[in-house]
Structure 1
Amino acid sequence: MRVVFAGTPEPAVPSLRRLIESPRHEVVAVVTRPDTVAGRGRKVVRSAVGQLAGEHGIEVLTPASPRDPEFMARLTELAPACCPVVAYGALLPQPVLDIPEHGWVNLHFSLLPAWRGAAPVQAAIAAGDEITGATTFRLEAGLDTGPVYGVVTETIRPSDTAGDLLGRLADSGAGLLESTLDGLEDGLLTAVPQSADGVSYAPKVTVESARITWTHPAHVVDRRIRAVTPAPGAWTMIGELRVKVGPVTVTDEILEPGEIEIRKNGVLVGTATTAVKLGQVQPPGKKAMIAADWARGARLDPKVRAQ
């Protein structure tokens, strides 16, 4: 099948690689977000999807907006039978959705209709879900509302960060996306409308929403920290310092919410239930380090609290 792949970040790379290597499908171009300027050297950086496409000599389209007439014209010229999409990062207007015969097939990292939106993996971990997965569905104008082609499931492990879980889903989802395209080409798949029950939403995670609320129970603090690791990263204020906090361990110790207790074997912070033991912390302008090592060097005021 002749396809144009749309995607931007690293989690989309396994799907693109799978389709490039597929004997049944031909990736004639990719659509990705425009290059960005990043790092201290302010270098122009191409997206992970754009980099992989470039390595294979595949045409890379980077429209500022999918509504760009030149982009729409080029997509029409390419005449894809289907456009698989994984975390592209922009809403597609109906005229663009209508171009390929089999439409745009999106790989979404949740079991729809649960966790529609930008951050399904983070939402599933924060909510304490035990099972999640990936879904292929046909894109339509609504937010992740299109009919479903297939799913794969994945167990959420007690220590999973968003990065861990997303990595596994990106790999298993790549196989699901390829098999979905196979089924469409063979005429064996029929999309099934999503259920009206069990709908939930996962808005984009912001830096502000990644701030730790120490008045929450310990298990909630643990989940929310893992849900925003590695990006944007959980953080808290300790005195006047804004400190990033990595995954924690729930203990049986009792401290007041935000109370900090420094011990030889670690640093405890109180929550609404039991304290948690900090793993790694990252103070401003420094690399992440073991919490106990940081606390010894920071010489914290005994009265200071995390907030």
Structure 2
Amino acid sequence: MRLVFAGTPAPAVPSLRALHDSPHEIVAVVTRTDAPLGRKRVLTPSPVAAAAASLGLPTIKADRLDAGATAGITALAPDLGVIVAYGGLVREPLLSTPPHGWINLHFSLLPRWRGAAPVQHALIAGDPVTGAGVFRLVPELDAGDVYDELRYPVPPRASAGDVLAALADQGAELLVRVVDRIAAGTASATPQQGEVTYAAKLTADDGRIRWDETADAVLSRIRGTTPEPGAFTTVAGARLKVLAAHRADREPPLAAGRIALHAGQVLVGTATAPIALARVQPAGKQAMDAGAWWRGQRQAEAVAGS
């Protein structure tokens, strides 16, 4: 089939490459326009745009699938539209332009966590299992019938970045299988069943650690907001990014937010058991071992969130 692929961030790249290696033809790649990155705000192509260039695929750069983008895509006469984390909505008449419509690879077990940040919300909520699914795009957000899905048990210390990378690779294989079935006329889709939950785009404040929550909730927030937007707290008024932490159930209890060194570990109290900080990043500095950061504080105890 003739495919139009729409995607923007790095997790969409494995799907683009897998489809490029399949028997199907990618007639165009749609991705968002170059964005200013870094301290010098240099205009930089999206990861999907860079991958498309390396594969020699024509690219349409658009932040919205407006009339111009719709006309460009329609002129290519695609059989199927494929979208993976593009960052924009597909509306009519573009939604009905390809004879086989559009399909979307989404990184959750729908209808749980419809929306922009499904993996992050799944980890923050402490879901033991998440996954990915390929569904038919409809006007309502992430509500279409599901062609196929995969389940992924969340590893105990995995971050949202780790889980998303794994789902991006496994989901690419799932996506190609669904496209093959659609081409062969053997694909079937099932209506979503279960409680609908939504995964709104995270803000910086979603990464703020609430030390009065349980240890499980604190660790889930740290993992779910790593690497973006980043889990953080404050110590003596200075921002401290927490990159990795783990349970410390056998250590002596600490008041919520209290930081202390015990048996070589930097512990922080929660509403239940303390947790041990492993990697941190003070404001304006490089990431470092939590022990090295604490030695630089030159104090016996401190309070996080102060």
Residue 190 of structure 1 deviates from its aligned partner by: 2.1
Q: Is the 8 A contact 2:81 2:98 kept in 1?
A: yes
Shift of 1:299: 2.7
Q: Distance in 1 between matches of 2:38 and 2:122?
A: 31
2:179 aligns with 181
- Rate the CA distance shift 1:48–1:303 in 2: closer, same or farther, 3 A: closer
Corresponding position: 1:271 with 2:270: yes
CA drift at 1:247: 2.1
Shift of 1:143: 1.0
- Call closer, same or farther: CA 1:139–1:53 in 2, change over 3 Å: same
Equivalent in the alignment of 2:52: 53
Q: Which residue of structure 2 aligns with residue 7 of structure 1? A: 7
Runs of 5+ unmatched residues, structure 1: none
Structure 1 range deviating more: 262-271 or 224-233: 262-271
1:264 CA displacement:
5.9
Q: Secondary structure at the match of 2:266?
A: strand
Instruction: Write the deviation string for residues 155-213 of structure 1: whole angstroms up to 9, x where unpaired.
Output: 11111111111111101100111011100011101222212x22211111111111000
Asked if the contact 2:266–2:291 (Cα under 8 Å) also holds between the matched residues in 1, the reply is: yes
Q: Distance in 2 between matches of 1:298 and 1:160?
A: 28
Q: 2:208 aligns to what?
A: 211
Q: Deviations over 1:18-67 (max 9, x none)?
A: 01111x20011100011001112321100010001011221111123212
Task: Specify which of 192, 195, 199 is matched with residue 196 of structure 2.
Answer: 199
Q: Which has the higher strand share?
A: 2
1:225 aligns with 2:226: no
How far off its partner does 1:239 sit?
Answer: 1.4
Contact 2:258 2:268 in 1 (8 A): yes
Displacement of 1:280 in angstroms is 0.7
Asked if the contact 1:260–1:306 (Cα under 8 Å) also holds between the matched residues in 2, the reply is no
Counterpart residue identity of residue 52, structure 1: A
> Which amino acid counterpart does residue 231 of structure 1 have in structure 2?
E
In the alignment, the residues of structure 1 paired with residue 198 and residue 164 of structure 2 have an alpha-carbon distance, to the nearest angstrom, of: 17
> Conserved in 1, the CA contact under 8 Å of 2:206 and 2:229?
no
Partner of 1:77: 75
- Secondary structure of the structure 2 residue equivalent to 1:94: coil
C-alpha contact 2:260 2:300 (8 A) present in aligned 1 = no
Q: CA deviation at 1:303?
A: 4.8
Unaligned residue ranges in structure 2 (runs of 5+)? none
Distance in structure 1 (CA, Å) of the matches to 2:213 and 2:234: 16
Using the alignment, how far apart are the partners of 1:199 and 1:42 within structure 2? 39
Partner SS, residue 294 of structure 2: helix
Q: In the aligned structure 1, how far is the partner of 2:297 from the partner of 2:30? A: 47
Change (3 A) 1:243 1:73: same
What corresponds to 1:16 in structure 2?
Answer: 16
Q: Percent identity?
A: 47
Any conservation in 1 of the 2:102–2:136 contact (CA below 8 Å)? yes
Change (3 A) 1:64 1:115: closer
Q: CA RMSD in A?
A: 1.3
TM-score by length of 1: 0.96
Partners of 2:79 and 2:301 lie apart in 1 by 65
Q: Is the contact made by 1:212 and 1:234 (CA closer than 8 Å) also made in structure 2?
A: yes
Q: Look up the SS of the partner of 1:278 in the other structure.
A: strand
Amino acid at match of 2:287: A
Tell me, in whole angstroms, the C-alpha distance in 1 between the residues paired with 2:27 and 2:161: 30
Query: What's 1:134 paired with?
Result: 132
* CA distance in structure 1 between the partners assigned to 2:218 and 2:64 by the alignment: 38
Check conservation: 2:260, 2:302, Cα contact below 8 A: no
The 5-angstrom pairing of residues 27-176 of structure 1 reads 27-67=26-66, 69-176=67-174
Deviations 1:205-256 (A, max 9, x none): 1111110000000011011101111111100011110110022111133000
